[in-house]
Amino acid sequence: MNGPGESAQQRRPVTLDDVARAAGVSQPTASRVLNGSSRRVAPSYRERVLSAAQELGYTPNLPAQAMARGTSRTIALVLSLISDPYFSAMAAEIMKQAEAIGLHVSIAVTERQAERELDLIRELRGQQPRAIILAGTGYVDPPSSQALIDELQRYEQTGGRVVLISRSDLPFETVDFDNHEGARQLARELATLGYRNCLVLGSATPLLSMQQRVEGFVAGLTESGGTNVRVQQPGFSWAGAREFVLGLSDDEAAQLDLVFAVTDDMALGALAGLRERGLRVPEDIGVAGFDDISTLRDVVPKLTTVHVALNAVAQEAVYRATTTDESLTRRTVPAYPVIRASTPPLSS
């Protein structure tokens, strides 16, 4: 050990050999205890190793462990946005599921920039996480898709696993939820409540899942006798939806029964814009969204939406990220409408 006159800068890091000597066990035994080996160690040895490691201040060299194993205890989660309520809820669920099986989650955010996504994957590939989960939304016409596919395939060739959540633009293991059918069923239920003249707020950003929601809602309303469905593509945010609603003419607003937005966040922006115009929800107009984010519990009136079981999506994604089963097929988690106070039945 270091002498009392040595400074902190002069001290070398505590090694696994140091722990083994202090515990009076072999280096392989200390390694099995501290590095998560599947081989069992006698409880008395385990206790001695853990006690010595704590006393010496030993910290495992995680990069070295990953290099030795060809993997690590980390799942890399790549999100489009962390500020978006849907993605933050998704991240929380994936972290919960991963921690339940002793894994950690690192988070990288693309800000919906395709080139940034590609750069992040290149960086993550060098860090050798156990798996990479991409929970960002794919593009209708994705730029640089082949370069991204090449990077992910190189990562898989080194033993890693790739799992996608709700995007079908890449040829990898996928956990999906039915954007089209969820929106279609919502429209059909709203039509039975009397809603016929609807403004659909899609996304100015060409995102595949958002396009599927628009197409599903329009199909469902048309099938049910909707007479006036107007689709617009405002900024893909709370502010974008609010600003679009504020920009409607009085005549345009007066003709509407309902505003449907492709995310709850945008629906809440539309709700704010309608109130600023002096319109009451639901007395003057109904509002509906998609995702069923947790913050809706504080919204008045309660927002009609499409529920996505994020806990089931996260559980399935983490399972697929860690299993060795190669026979799995694409899993689609159902999404279903939830009718609440923001869309009451319309009087005849």
Kindly report the CA angle at 88 between 87 and 93, in degrees rounded to 5?
95
pLDDT at 134 over 90: yes
What pLDDT, on the 0 to 100 scale, is given for residue 53? 85
Domain membership flag for residue 67: no
50-98 residue pLDDT tens: 888 888 887 665 555 554 454 578 999 999 888 888 889 999 999 999 9
pLDDT at 3 over 50: no
52 and 79 inside one domain: no
- Count CB atoms within 10 A of the CB of residue 309: 16
**Per-residue confidence at 250, pLDDT binned at 50, 70, 90?**
very high
133-142, 280-289, 294-303: which has the highest mean pLDDT?
A: 280-289
Is 340 within the bounds of a domain? no
Q: Residue 6: its pLDDT value, please?
A: 46
Strand blocks (E) in the chain: 74-79, 104-109, 131-134, 161-165, 173-177, 197-201, 228-232, 258-261, 286-288, 305-308, 331-333, 335-338
CA distance 8 to 283: 70
Say which CATH number the domain at 165 has: 3.40.50.2300
User: Per-residue pLDDT tens for 162-208?
Assistant: 999 988 778 888 898 889 999 999 999 999 999 999 999 998 888 88
Structure confidence at residue 5 as a pLDDT band (50, 70, 90): very low
Return the minimum-mean-pLDDT range out of 27-41, 107-121, 122-136, 242-256.
Answer: 27-41
Query: pLDDT above 70 covers what percent of the chain?
Result: 88
- Same domain for 103 and 187? no
Q: State residue 146's pLDDT score.
A: 85
Instruction: Identify whether residues 104 and 191 lie together within a single domain.
Output: no
Q: Which domain holds residue 111?
A: 72-177+311-333
Average pLDDT (114-128) is: 87
Angle ∠(115,109,134) on CA atoms, nearest 5: 80
Query: 157 and 93 in one domain?
Result: yes
Number of structural domains the chain divides into? 3
| Residue 39 shares a structural domain with residue 108 | no
pLDDT at 289: 97
Q: Which residue has the higher pLDDT, 41 or 153?
A: 153
pLDDT band at 111 (very low <50, low <70, confident <90, very high): confident
Kindly tell me if the per-residue pLDDT of 40 is higher than 80: no
Indicate if 21 and 39 belong to the same structural domain.
Answer: yes
Q: How far from chain centre, in Å, is Cα 107?
A: 10
Task: Among 17, 33, 60, give the residue marking a domain's end.
Answer: 60
In sequence order, what are the residues at sequence separation of 6 or more whose Cβ sits closer than 8 angstroms to the Cβ of residue 310? 89, 90, 93
pLDDT score recorded for residue 97: 93
Confidence tier at 307 by pLDDT (50, 70, 90): very high
> What is the average pLDDT score of the chain?
86
Residues 208 and 292 in one domain: yes
Question: What pLDDT score does 84 carry?
Answer: 83
134 within domain boundaries: yes
